[in-house]
Amino acid sequence: MKTPSLILSLSLAVAGCSTTQEPASSGPATPFGSLGAMTTNIGDGLYTVSAGGARTVFLVGDEGVLVGDPISTPAAEQILGEIRKVTNKPIRYVVYSHSHWDHIRGGQVFKEEGAEIWSQENCLAHIYRNPNPEVAYPDRSYTQKQVLDVGNATVELLYHGPNHSDCSTHMYFPNHKIVHIVDTVQPYAVSGAGGRMNDSYPKLFVDSLQMLEDEVPFERMIPGHGGPIAPRDAVINRRKYQQALLDAVKAEIDKGTPFGKIPDAVSLPKFKDLRGYDQYLAANAQRILIYYTIGW
Ligand SMILES: [Zn+2]
């Protein structure tokens, strides 16, 4: 990485602080009106954009542009506008991070620019079973690893098994040693979305992050919501929180604590400073209890 920008230095300073990394523009609908997209230049052709309540990335190479999630139709239009402030090169690829609608609506905006849409293959079943007029079907899929090149700029699409979903792509930018992880890791936060962890895979979640850590020499990550960048430690911390949660719920089961009382009985003082700990710990524990009850 040749040219770390001032913006990046500021972002890193923010990312180092565990509870205040949410930027003012985490979504367009606010009590103060509609906020536009906010782009951070990471350097060497990599950018991250906050728009429509989520965060995505785009990579500019010699021959074109690769975009991460389109987020929603209005967000995709904003993201395209942000890209066009930087380059007029063609949009070659869109990569869906997983199959959840809050990240992958709006792909048509980029298809009309000529982009080919990629996802991990397990997403196809979800997208076809639950069609959404705003979700464009992927043109191509991969199983374990796919390298996409936009001209002296590459991204590795990596599948490390089920975690937040069963089709999450870790997008690794080798030139930057940065991985884009959507929803599986919210830096220094417990699982959000009401804490229910939606369709996550509680035990495989740990294995997936461990595999990422073991196999990919990333130094920083870009999340799918919130601030632009976080250190590698954010991933390690999230894996440890997940394992601690699994262990704590299992300990209550082994002690004979009545099932209904387990979510409120769980306490993880080592993780009490995580964002959302007070609000969502019990709901996170409830999801783990379901795992120990039915194996999913
Ligand atoms: Zn999701």
* Domains of the chain, CATH where assigned: 6-294 (3.60.15.10)
Report how far ligand 1's centroid is from the alpha carbon of 215 (Å).
23
Contact 172, 158 (CB under 8 A): yes
Q: Predicted confidence band at 140 (pLDDT cuts at 50, 70, 90)? A: very high
pLDDT of residue 32: 53
Calculate how far, in angstroms, residue 222's C-alpha sits from the geometric centre of ligand 1. Answer: 15
Return the CA Rg of the chain. Answer: 19
What pLDDT, on the 0 to 100 scale, is given for residue 33? 53
CA of 129 to the centre of ligand 1 (A): 17
Query: What is the share, in percent, of the chain residues with pLDDT greater than 90?
Result: 83
Angle at 46 between CA 49 and CA 36, to 5 degrees: 15
Protein residues within 5 Å, CB atom, of ion ligand 1: 100, 183
* β-bridge partners, 19: none
Q: What is the pLDDT of residues 193-250, one digit of tens each?
A: 666 666 689 999 999 999 999 999 999 999 999 999 999 999 999 999 999 999 999 9
pLDDT, average across residues 127-154: 98
Annotate 234-257 with b (16+ C-beta within 10 A) or e (fewer): bbebbbebbeebbebbeebeeeee
